[in-house]
């Protein structure tokens, strides 16, 4: 029942908000709904261990062989929790952002949340696709209505990219549907027996679909543009949670379904992912816009996740699981900082900022912790995930012969990450104040609250990652089992 409740709360609240005229109360209702969702998702992880609570299966479209089958497994729990934590943080931290017709804004945000949760719990391919689009379509509107100056062009690019990805995915899913005797269920997909080589095409179809969403180099160019132009609240959703849809999609719908090509082509994918890491890190060094910098940093981190998936071992897999959560938390933290700066100083150009640490010491301290987590400093959550992923990448001798080279090259990114992150801290926070920053004050309480929660999570998960690891232990084993199964 839990997954259905998780789904219904944001969905109904979202529709309800369309009818609300009072913008102030719309905001409060949205926040309230997101907090209720959070409480329930925590219950879903901690209290309700009984499988019956985490599972719901009903008739949906019998003629098509599609069922309304939702389930919270370890990976779903983790990502639902991420979604559920993110939205209250986003709402709180952007509490004072002004939107025209705010009730519609919040309604679309909540619909997107419902779609996201749906994606993470769907066990039926058609249902998955349905939620995938449910999550994306509100974002198109959010970007194109509330975005920046070049929002239409950016949204268009985003739409074309993701829609192309969605269609590739649909194509792949339909192919699987016919191969699975006209069933969309995940179990049926797992049971398909491919003849050798037949599934390579399918692998690339599905991989391309999810690679666009993650995004993996060279499918990434929509991301900096979209992040730059979207309202920051939407950017948080996009980068904190939606890129995880891509990783999640790989882990649930590609790697276990077509294990043989995942194994065969692992090196190729890893090569691209790692090239992308270095590439994005280098490009990040040259960015002046804070949003673009964070966007490229995110691409670099996602590249590592992608590579670690194809390392095909426990360390890498658990690292990816953990890092999906950690990266979401960290990057939302970074966006909150960017948003706070933009709200206060009305610019995101690093060349115009400076000396913010004098004006906003609390912001500076919180940012430094988050930025350090972003570059994987020990005792922050970023370290644990990255350590495990690098270790997985290195220890993947079974899957690849290039593991040492891959790891060595990938590790260069931690040096580059230090370069661009410290550059950013230096240009924005240190030095003397500029004309733009001279007038500013410290951050408001809501931002402080949201960032403090994030910093607490960062430190907590950096020192005690074990509870998170145990949540995903089983599902990691299951996925790896599928990957090894046919060898």
Partner 1 sequence: MGNIIHLAWLVPLFPLLGFFINGLGRKSLSKSAIGAVGSGAILASFIVSIMIVMQVKSPGFVPSHGIVRLFDFINIDKFIIPFSFQVDQLSSLFLLIITGVGFLIHVYSTSYMHDEEPQHFGRYFAYLNLFVFSMLLLVMGGNFVIMFIGWEGVGLCSYLLIGFWFKNGDYNNAAKKAFVMNRIGDFGFLLAVFWIIAKVGSVNYPDVFAAAASLGKADLTIITLLLFLGAAGKSAQIPLYTWLPDAMAGPTPVSALIHAATMVTAGIYMIARSNILYTMAPVTQTVVAVTGLVTAIFAATIALRQNDIKKVLAYSTVSQLGYMFLGLGVGAYTGAVFHVMTHAFFKALLFLGAGSVIHAMQSEQDIRNMGGLKKQMPVTHITFLLACLAIAGVPPFSGFFSKDEILAGAFTVNPVFYYIGVAGALMTAFYMFRLYAMTFLGGFRGTHDQEHHLHESPLTITFPLIVLAVLSTIAGFAGLPEVFVENGHALEHFLAPIFAGSEKLKPAHHLDHSTEIIMMVSVTVLVLVTIIYAWTKFSRYGKTGTETAGLARVLENNWYVDEIYDAVIVKPLNAFAGFLNRFVERTFIDGIVNGVGRTIQYGSRQIRLLQSGQVGSYILLMVLGILAFFAIAFFVKK
Cα separation, 409 vs 270, whole angstroms: 11
Asked if 298 interacts with partner 1 (CB under 8 A), we say no
Q: Which of 419, 449, 453, 478 binds partner 1 (CB under 8 A)?
A: 419
For strands 66-71 and 55-61, give the pairing.
antiparallel
Indicate the residue among 56 and 159 with the shorter CB distance to partner 1.
Answer: 159
Asked if 388 interacts with partner 1 (CB under 8 A), we say yes
CB 217 to partner 1: min, Å: 9
Cα separation, 383 vs 380, whole angstroms: 6
Asked if 218 interacts with partner 1 (CB under 8 A), we say yes
Bridge partners for 211 per DSSP: none
Indicate the residue among 12 and 408 with the shorter CB distance to partner 1.
Answer: 408
Cα separation, 4 vs 140, whole angstroms: 25
Asked if 157 interacts with partner 1 (CB under 8 A), we say yes
Q: For residues 224 and 280, is the Cβ–Cβ distance under 8 A? A: no
DSSP label of 66: E
Asked if 387 interacts with partner 1 (CB under 8 A), we say yes
Cα separation, 403 vs 248, whole angstroms: 23
Q: Which of 12, 39, 408, 456 binds partner 1 (CB under 8 A)?
A: 408
Asked if 469 interacts with partner 1 (CB under 8 A), we say yes
Determine if the peptide bond prior to 215 is cis (ω within 30°): yes
Asked if 282 interacts with partner 1 (CB under 8 A), we say yes
Asked if 402 interacts with partner 1 (CB under 8 A), we say no
Q: Say how far residue 171 (Cα) sits from the centre of its chain.
A: 24
CB 439 to partner 1: min, Å: 17
Q: Considering only 28-36, 141-149, 337-345, 390-398, which stretch makes contact with partner 1 by CB under 8 A?
A: 390-398
Bridge partners for 70 per DSSP: 56, 122
Indicate the residue among 1 and 414 with the shorter CB distance to partner 1.
Answer: 414
Q: Contacts from 439-444 at CB under 8 Å and sequence distance 24+?
A: 440/344, 440/345, 440/356, 440/359, 440/360, 441/344, 441/359, 441/360, 442/359, 442/360, 442/361, 442/362, 442/363, 443/340, 443/344, 443/360, 443/362, 443/363, 444/96, 444/340
Query: Site size for partner 1, by CB under 8 A?
Result: 52
Q: Which of 7, 384, 436, 447 binds partner 1 (CB under 8 A)?
A: 384
C-alpha Rg value of the chain to the nearest Å: 21
Cα separation, 154 vs 67, whole angstroms: 36
Indicate the residue among 146 and 383 with the shorter CB distance to partner 1.
Answer: 383
Residue 265, classified by CB atoms within 10 Å of its CB into exposed (0-12), middle (13-18) or buried (19+), is: middle
Please list every residue from 250 through 269 that binds partner 1, using CB under 8 A: none
CB 301 to partner 1: min, Å: 16
Indicate the residue among 233 and 469 with the shorter CB distance to partner 1.
Answer: 469
Please list every residue from 313 through 342 that binds partner 1, using CB under 8 A: 314-315, 318
CB 445 to partner 1: min, Å: 16
Indicate the residue among 31 and 208 with the shorter CB distance to partner 1.
Answer: 208
Indicate the residue among 66 and 318 with the shorter CB distance to partner 1.
Answer: 318
Nearest of 314, 329, 255 to residue 469 by alpha carbon: 314
Asked if 467 interacts with partner 1 (CB under 8 A), we say no
Asked if 168 interacts with partner 1 (CB under 8 A), we say no
Q: Which of 24, 150, 346, 426 binds partner 1 (CB under 8 A)?
A: 426
Nearest of 272, 346, 336, 344 to residue 309 by alpha carbon: 272
How many CA atoms within 13 Å lie on the side-chain side of 325? Answer: 31
CB 341 to partner 1: min, Å: 17
Reduce the DSSP state of residue 445 to 3 states and report it: helix
Asked if 74 interacts with partner 1 (CB under 8 A), we say no
Asked if 351 interacts with partner 1 (CB under 8 A), we say no
**Which residue blocks in 346-380 are alpha helix, DSSP H?**
356-359, 361-374
Bridge partners for 56 per DSSP: 70
Q: Which of 16, 32, 53, 430 binds partner 1 (CB under 8 A)?
A: 430
Q: How many other C-beta atoms are found inside a 10 Å radius of the C-beta of residue 326?
A: 29
User: Which residue ranges make up the site for partner 1 (CB under 8 A)?
Assistant: 157, 160-161, 218, 221-222, 279, 282-283, 285-287, 314-315, 318, 355, 357-358, 361, 372, 377-379, 383-384, 387-388, 390-391, 394-395, 397, 407-408, 411-412, 414-415, 418-419, 422-423, 426, 429-432, 463-466, 469
């Amino acid at each position: 029942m839990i997954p259905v409740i998780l789904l219904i709360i944001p969905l109904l609240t979202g529709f309800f908000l369309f009818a609300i005229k009072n913008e102030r109360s719309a905001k409060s209702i949205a926040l309230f709904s997101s907090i209720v969702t959070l409480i329930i998702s925590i219950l879903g992880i901690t209290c309700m261990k009984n499988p019956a609570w985490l599972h719901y299966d009903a008739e949906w479209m019998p003629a098509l062989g599609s069922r309304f089958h939702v389930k919270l497994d370890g990976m779903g729990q983790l990502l639902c929790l991420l979604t559920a934590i993110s939205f209250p943080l986003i709402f709180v931290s952007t509490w004072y952002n002004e939107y025209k017709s705010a009730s519609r804004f919040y309604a679309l945000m909540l619909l997107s949340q419902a779609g996201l949760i749906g994606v993470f719990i769907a066990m039926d391919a058609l249902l998955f696709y349905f939620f995938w689009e449910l999550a994306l379509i509100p974002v198109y509107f959010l970007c194109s209505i509330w975005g920046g100056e070049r929002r239409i062009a950016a949204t268009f690019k985003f739409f074309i990219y993701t829609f192309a990805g969605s269609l590739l995915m649909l194509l792949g899913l339909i192919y699987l549907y016919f191969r699975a005797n006209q069933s969309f269920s995940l179990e049926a997909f797992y049971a398909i027996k491919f003849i050798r080589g037949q599934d390579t095409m399918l692998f690339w179809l599905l991989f391309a679909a999810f690679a666009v969403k993650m995004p993996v180099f060279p499918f990434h160019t929509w991301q900096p543009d979209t992040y730059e132009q979207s309202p920051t609240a939407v950017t948080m959703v996009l980068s904190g949670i939606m890129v995880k849809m891509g990783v999640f999609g790989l882990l649930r719908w590609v790697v276990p379904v077509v294990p043989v090509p995942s194994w065969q082509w692992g090196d190729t994918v890893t090569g691209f992912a790692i090239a992308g890491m270095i590439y994005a890190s280098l490009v990040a060094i040259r960015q002046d816009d804070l949003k673009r910098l964070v966007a490229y940093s995110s691409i670099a981190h996602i590249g590592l996740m992608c590579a670690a998936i194809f390392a095909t071992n426990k360390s890498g897999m658990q690292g990816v699981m953990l890092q999906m959560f950690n990266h979401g938390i960290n990057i939302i933290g970074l966006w909150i900082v960017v948003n706070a700066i933009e709200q206060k100083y009305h610019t995101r150009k690093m060349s115009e900022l400076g000396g913010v640490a004098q004006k906003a010491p609390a912001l500076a301290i919180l940012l430094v912790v988050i930025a350090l987590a972003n570059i994987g400093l020990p005792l922050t959550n970023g370290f644990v995930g990255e350590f495990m992923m690098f270790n997985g990448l290195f220890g993947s001798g079974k899957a690849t012969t290039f593991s040492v080279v891959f790891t060595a090259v990938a590790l260069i990114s931690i040096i580059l990450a230090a370069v661009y992150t410290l550059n950013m801290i230096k240009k924005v926070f240190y030095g003397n104040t500029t004309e733009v920053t001279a007038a500013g004050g410290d951050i408001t309480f809501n931002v402080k609250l949201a960032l403090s929660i994030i910093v607490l999570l960062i430190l907590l998960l950096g020192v005690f990652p074990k509870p998170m690891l145990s949540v995903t232990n089983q599902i990691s084993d299951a996925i790896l089992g599928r990957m090894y199964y046919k060898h």
